[in-house]
Amino acid sequence: MEPSVVKGYDVADAPVRSSVSATPGRTLQPLLHDLVSCVRAPSLALSADDGQIRPGGVQGWLRHDRRLLTGLTVEVSGQHPDGLVSRPVGSAGASFTAVARHLGDDIADPTVTVERLRRLVDGHLEETVTVCSTAQSAVDVELVLTASSDLAPIGVVKSGQSHPVVVPDALPDGLAWRAAGLSVRLRADPQPAVDASAGTLSWTTRLSSGQTLRVALVATVEDSVEHPFTEPDRVPWGPVSLHSNDFRVAALVEQSLGDLAGLVLRDGGDPGGDLFLAAGSPWFLTLFGRDSLWSARMLLPLGTELAMGTLRTLGRRQGGADVPETEEQAGKILHEVRESGLDVGDLALPPVYFGTVDATPLWVTLLAEAWHWGAPSAEVAALLPVAERCLAWLETQAQDGFLRYADRSGHGLANQGWKDSADSIQWADGRLAEAPIALSEVQGYAHEAALNGAALLDAFGRPGGDRWRDWAEGLRARFRSRFWVADGDGAYPAIALDRHDRAVDSVASNMAHLLGTGILAADEVDLVAGRLASPDLDSGFGLRTLTRRSPRFSRLSYHGGTVWPHDTAIAARGLAREGQGAAAARLFGGLVEAGPTFGYRLPELYGGDAPLDAPAPIPYPAACRPQAWSAAGVVGALVALLGLDPDVPSGVVRVGRGVPPFAPLSLDGLRIGGEPAAVEVDADGQVSLSTTAPVTVLPSR
């Protein structure tokens, strides 16, 4: 295979501010990180923190990868209210409080307030606007709402390109926009004065002290297209209760679960359809192989329904032929599904795109782990043919000894591991690696998948178990001989092999993903754990993606120095599984330290290197929030720290010692074998598990 054209996916695709230029008379849009996000997949609403949805940037009401409303702004008597505070209302709503200054007798204090309550409900956007006066004398109020729509596809929104505005039609109680097979309607109660040419709805009234003007808005969409993913009818886990010695842990878990509830999607229109997690808001509100699998894996302690739904949803779309244009291959698990693909600059992805090298082994491991957590045997057995095709893909893909990737289409992802930006795979001196590339963590995933696949085949009476164990051992030996390199601080696994089979020697967080996969010997685990604990990688707010010593390091480089919460959580989980509890606790503690900066809604990524005068992480301007694996990683890493290791088919659950910094701790709402479970950790770190599942509780090995 030839080296691919160097392209990235996420580094610069999302506009840092917007397509609105900072010209005189134009307002610069807020950073994506600063926008208020309401999410109920497949819908989301993005606005400034004063509640205004302003045209010209990435704000709006979006659904099924199309922006339905571009603007939704409120004026009171000719002025935009001054925002005071915004608050989340679950994952799907937000409230905003503002004041309309210089109205009434507000010489000293504001007397006219504007409250907005926004919610996403059953595919609709609902908003209530309430204007209240406490002025001692009556106030004449004109409330004007200006709305607009461009019906732009997600690729246009993501790149910040301009898109023609759709001219609205007047309705008796609102406005309607019709184009691209869509009909968007905005209706108001009480009935407004409608000016379609200006896109405004208005009301005029006189308010005495204590009186209010309340307007209810409902935006709906009619779409002739049958979409593959729809709103869920439930959340696939029950209530979770956590009490900890550190209140921030409970706040982090509570916010994470709330965010995850807004990211649940259902496959197809059947009310009983399989559930999975969309990757994140706003650009990834759809099925992603790697992201959805890791998120479901981290949430296995809350039950197996999400994992099994994710596995079936991806299994139904497993590759069946060799198609270079889409990167499809027989047995391969896809990367992402979109309504109409994604076209951003040089990157042009088809609606169903398979450009990922790690989703296929991760699929097999999630099936095995779901089985260990107690997924019904019949459901697991039904998916074994998919697992066997995944294993066959591993063998085919690793014909030269290792799993590799390269962009075969010429307009797909240049890098196809989780670090998929153009400059993410580099040498210690800063040179970029040439494809085809064999990533270190992918070899670990493949090793783990082969062993898990072998165990599943044995347990269900299918042939091939010994062959896959032999295959895994061969990969392990090849990895040990080819991937290990050394610098002045000792030995460590290289990030990758390049097209010339040279070990790419940068020190990066990828090595953390090897922990718990079985590909490392005990002494190698110690070496990796030591590297992760070094100040070059551990920022104190999580794991840096790249060592500070790299000439390309930047605390705000997408994959070249930032902290990704899911990456840190995977590292903490792996360390805990390898018996490195103290190191795992330190990394997880970094996420806890970062939590308050982000209102406990951990973003996609952030800068872990704080300014000298402000000991807190730095927001990444274009970070997505909420993000499924950022939120799910909190749960997965915390449970791993407790040493919980179930093997329901064998009737055993093992528990370790808890982590003293967060103890005493109690966690209720877990599920083992479909039965309720709860964990208590005393001040000394002693863990006790209570469950009605038919299992014996044993100490960790």
| Locus of tokens 């005393």 | 682
**pLDDT for residue 28:** 61
**Domain-located, residue 17:** no
Average pLDDT on 450-459 reads: 98
pLDDT class of 29 with cuts at 50, 70, 90? confident
- Identify the pLDDT of residue 19: 30
Write out pLDDT tens, residues 471-510: 999 999 999 999 999 999 999 999 999 999 999 999 999 9
Residues 444, 369 within the same domain: yes
- Same domain for 666 and 621, yes or no, is no
Environment class of 374 (CB within 10 Å of its CB; exposed 0-12, middle 13-18, buried 19+) = buried
Is the Cα dihedral 304, 310, 315, 319 positive or negative? negative
Locate tokens 């800068």: which residue?
Answer: 607
Domain that holds residue 197: 43-223
pLDDT per residue as tens digits for the range 552-579: 999 999 999 999 999 999 999 999 999 9
3-state secondary structure of 637: helix
3-class SS at 567? helix
> Tens digits of per-residue pLDDT, 607-637?
998 776 668 999 999 999 999 999 999 999 9
Domain boundary among 641, 656, 689: 641
pLDDT of residue 391: 98
State which of 180, 204, 223 marks the end of a domain: 223
| pLDDT exceeds 80 at position 658 | no
Mean pLDDT of the chain: 92
Which of 536, 533, 534, 514 is CA-nearest to residue 525? 514
pLDDT at 274 over 70: yes
Query: What is the pLDDT at residue 515?
Result: 98
In-domain check, residue 12: no
- 255 and 192 in a common domain: no
In DSSP terms, which residues pair with 348 in a beta bridge? 343
Q: Report d(CA 425, CA 429) in Å as an integer.
A: 12
Summarised one tens digit per residue, pLDDT across range 211-255 is 999 999 999 999 888 899 999 999 999 999 999 999 999 999 999
Q: Are 607 and 688 contained in the same domain?
A: no
Assess if residue 167 is contained within a domain.
yes
Would you say residue 502 lies in a domain? yes
Query: Residue 406: pLDDT band by 50, 70, 90 thresholds?
Result: very high
Report residue 502 as tokens. Answer: 């040279």
Shared-domain flag, residues 457 and 517:
yes
**What's the rounded mean pLDDT across residues 296-311?**
98
- The residue written with tokens 């996000």 in the block is 37
Residue indicated by tokens 């064999």? 438
pLDDT for res 2: 31
- Tell me the CA distances in angstroms from 167 to 54, 58, 170, 173, 177, one per residue in order: 17, 20, 10, 17, 7
- β-bridge partners, 147: 72
CATH code, domain carrying 549: 1.50.10.10
Closest CA to 394 of 342, 320, 472, 462: 472
What total of structural domains would you count in the chain? 3
Looking at the structure, tell me whether residues 116 and 90 fall in a common domain. yes
Has residue 346 got a pLDDT over 90? no
Same domain, 512 and 661: no
- How high is the pLDDT of residue 564? 98
- Reported as a single tens digit per residue, the pLDDT across 320-336 is 999 999 999 999 999 99
Same domain, 255 and 121: no
What's the CA gap between 180 and 234, in Å, rounded? 31
Tokens of 474: 């061969």
* Residues 126, 238 within the same domain: no
Neighbours of 449 (CB within 10 A): 27
Please check the confidence at residue 279 and state whether its pLDDT lies above 80. yes
Distance CA 688, CA 667 (A): 11
pLDDT at site 107:
61
Tokens of 35: 């926008």
From 192, 223, 254, the end of a domain falls on 223
Percent pLDDT > 70 in the chain is 94
Q: Cα–Cα distance between 157 and 656 in angstroms, integer? A: 48
Predicted local distance difference test score (pLDDT) of residue 159: 82
| 201-219: burial string, b at 16+ Cβ within 10 Å, e else | bbbeeebeeebebebebbb
CA distance linking residue 499 with residue 26, whole number of Å: 49
What's the CATH code of the domain at 118?
Answer: 2.70.98.40
State the pLDDT confidence band at 8, using cuts at 50, 70 and 90: very low
Residues 690, 553 within the same domain: no
- 634 and 675 assigned to the same domain: no
Paired tokens of 169: 């039609």
* Whether 81 and 175 share a structural domain: yes
